[in-house]
Amino acid sequence: MKSNQMFVKMVLPLMGYVIFAMFRLSIGVTIPEVMREYHVKEAVGGLVLSSLLGAMALMTLLGGHLSDRVGKKTAMAMGLTLMACGMLWGGFPTGYAGLLSSMFITGAGSGIFTAALFAYAGDMTTKSRGTLVGLTNSFYALGGLMGPWLSSILIASFNWHVPFYLMGAMALATSTSLWLNSRGERHLETVGEEVKIGYAELFRNVRRGRSLLLICGGMGAANFAFVAFTAWAPSYLMKTGGLTLPETGLSFGLYSLAGAVGATFFGAFSDRFTRRKSVMVSGILTSTLSLLYFSGLVSSKNLIGLSIALGFPAFAYWNLTISSAQDQVDEKFTGSVTGLIQGVGLITGMVAPALSGLLITNYGLSSALILSTTLPTILYVTVTSKVAG
């Protein structure tokens, strides 16, 4: 399939992924306003994000298998529609319990959508799988750049409900287009109607099962490190690095932007030089730079530049582990294996902020963040490189 044809087929799914990323990374901006309106404390306010991530972790497993049964585009349309309904409901003043319920629905739809999306990208062409899956991952970083900025403007001008309405409407429009598009191409997809036993089939072959378990372990370690970094690095930059809040925001914006470029680069690198080499190069760079980042040896202003350097390889683990897992299975199982890998990553990501926070309490920021980011990344490289093709 020619590259321009592939891009056209990916436009609507990637638009949906940008909207998801915009919403997901805007939640941190809205939580203070939600707490103020509903009169809840920080511990309870954090349940907004936990509700979304918990549902997403559960539904990626179902979403991956569902995409193998009904088709990738149909599953993406189903997930995006559910996600849009959750966003729109969340905007209505239904009380805090209603908001949490809406976030659970949004997370459930997001889990189905993202599992089907990465399976769809991986199925487009096996020769350029790493590039396409990497490109898909890069759009998350781009959405992350736009979402918090747009939401902060809307909240300042109106209230926190408006971003929910806007992004929900955008998601609904995109899902409607996907529904119409999926009907026309349903017959072109590989759909595993005979797949009855789900994930058990993935591990039936002993050798393949061992490889998938190792890749799951690599994803779990890498995503733990990534989430721990994004949760606590801002505190490090301000408390230890001495950066101001605007400088910290700039640092993280540039970190994301570099990650968008790096995800695609290392995906293409894996197509040309093997997944194993791409995992090793990006992982070793990430672990080395994160060690330097939290060592205390870098002056405050230079941390902004180091954020760019670290962001470039740091995002690639997501697409490289997914591509490596997809390489292990037949096309009819790409959805199931994608959901499995993403589900493992989301589960470890859920516990990363709390566990790394506990380490910070006991060992201080620098030591705890080296333990939470550098060491899991080394584990990811060690484990995943053993089985990546």
Distance (Å, rounded) from C-alpha 307 to C-alpha 256? 9
CA neighbor of 135 nearest in space, from 302, 269, 310, 284: 269
Average pLDDT, the chain: 86
DSSP at 92:
S
Q: What is the pLDDT of residues 45-103, one digit of tens each?
A: 777 887 888 899 889 988 888 888 888 889 999 999 999 999 999 999 899 999 999 99
Indicate whether 43 pLDDT > 80.
no
Give the list of residues 6+ apart from residue 349 with CB closer than 8 angstroms, or none.
53, 223, 224, 226, 227
Residue 195 has pLDDT above 50, yes or no: no
Superfamily for 204-389? MFS general substrate transporter like domains (1.20.1250.20)
- Classify domain 1-193 at the CATH topology level: Growth Hormone; Chain: A; (1.20.1250)
Residue 148 has which token pair?
Answer: 């918090």
Span of 167-171, 243-247, 270-274, 294-298 with lowest mean pLDDT = 243-247
> Do 348 and 317 meet the contact criterion of CB atoms below 8 Å apart?
no
* Longest CA span, the chain: 59
The two domains 1-193 and 204-389 share their CATH topology (first three levels equal): yes
Query: pLDDT of 347-366, one tens digit each?
Result: 898 888 888 888 888 898 89
CA distance 8 to 211: 33
pTM reported for the whole predicted model: 0.85
DSSP state of 186: G
The confidence score (pLDDT) of residue 196 equals 46
Centroid of chain to Cα 72: 18
Q: How confident is the model at residue 149 (pLDDT cuts 50, 70, 90)?
A: confident
Backbone region of residue 203 per phi and psi (left: phi > 0; alpha: psi in -120 to 50; beta: other values) = alpha
Evaluate whether 340 touches 215 at the Cβ level (below 8 Å): no
Residue 187: which pLDDT band, with cuts at 50, 70 and 90? very low
Domain edges within the chain = 1-193, 204-389
